[in-house]
Chains A and B, each alone.
Chain A
Amino acid sequence: MDQLAHIERILAMAGGIIVAVVSAYALKNDWKTPGLDNQVFKVMLALLFVGAVLAFLAGYGILGTFPKAA
């Protein structure tokens, strides 16, 4: 059980970093696009970035609680 949680945490951290970087990059690239739908996309990308950071922090152990040792 502990092993599994360990793997999950590492994958969560990895995924979190990747998505955070990608969404920040996409946000920077699309910053100047006009139109209502693009404004909404930008907000959502920003929130995606926030989420990815949270997932990373959770995987790292700063946020949330963890399986008790077996």
Chain B
Amino acid sequence: MAVASLAQAGAEFAPHGEVDQLYAETRDLRLLGFLMFLVSDVVLFSSFIFAYLYLRNSGQGWPPPGIGRPDVALAALNSAVLFGSGATMHYALENWKHGKFTRYAAFMIATIILGILFLSGQAVEYTKLYFQEHVSWAGSGIFGASFFTLTGMHGFHVFVGVWYLIVLLLQSVHGVYSKDKYFGLTAGTLYWHFVDVIWVVLFSIFYLI
């Protein structure tokens, strides 16, 4: 049964002979391992999200006295930027799978640029909050604590993700991946989508509700 399931997993990679079966099985292991990593990362964010919702609900009213609700305009734009990068990432991988390297590279670069734009947007948002609204990480009660911790964790994940994508792009230029063997790109895409999905949740709980 184990062999049958592994063979099924390898089906889209059309294994012929020993090496391809080895690659297919190895890829299967790596995929599951990477998904487990994403699951644990989701648990990490969920724990902090629980903490935020618990504290927010603990009866002081929201937003806490002295702090206005965060403005959604910039955040909405930033969200659109990040979601856009998710779309470009999807097409980057699609084009790679169809062997269209130039288009793949263009979409990858677009994703990276949009990711950097998102980070810049967050920097602007942080600056606004700190200098205009006087909201700080440690000095603004649970609002500052939860907002900066969660968006900071997320921003860190985006930062790491941008580097990851740059490395993948350079690797693909150097021929590390082929039309049939490109697990690194798959993992990168999964990671980037994960970062997007976390932002959907954070955007909703900090700006929309």
Chain A residues engaging chain B, CB cutoff 8 angstroms:
4-6, 8-9, 11-12, 14-16, 18-19, 22-23, 26, 34-37, 40-41, 44-45, 47-48, 50-52, 54-56, 58-59, 63-67
CB-contact partner of A59 in B35, B71, B80, under 8 A: B80
Supposing A37-B31, A41-B193, A54-B208 touch, asked if A63 and B80 sit within 8 A by C-beta, the answer is no
Chain B residues engaging chain A, CB cutoff 8 angstroms:
9, 11-12, 31-32, 35, 69-77, 79-81, 83-84, 86-87, 90-91, 94, 186, 189-190, 193-194, 196-197, 199-200, 203-204, 207-208
**Are the CB atoms of A63 and B190 closer together than 8 Å?**
no
Distance of B98 from chain A, by nearest CB (Å): 12
User: Which chain B residues border A37 with CB–CB below 8 Å?
Assistant: 31, 186, 190
User: Which chain B residues border A52 with CB–CB below 8 Å?
Assistant: 80, 83
A22 vs B183: C-alpha distance when bound (angstroms): 24
Q: Which label, helix, strand, loop or mixed, suits the secondary structure of the B interface?
A: helix
Further 8 A-B residue pairs, CB within 8 A, beyond A23-B83, A23-B86: A8-B73, A12-B76, A37-B190, A47-B200, A48-B197, A54-B200, A54-B204, A56-B80
Supposing A40-B35, A40-B190, A48-B196 touch, asked if A15 and B90 sit within 8 A by C-beta, the answer is no
Distance of A19 from chain B, by nearest CB (Å): 4
CB-contact partner of A65 in B11, B72, B200, under 8 A: B72
User: Which chain A residues border B75 with CB–CB below 8 Å?
Assistant: 58, 64
**Are the CB atoms of B76 and A22 closer together than 8 Å?**
no
A44 vs B90: C-alpha distance when bound (angstroms): 10
**Are the CB atoms of B73 and A22 closer together than 8 Å?**
no
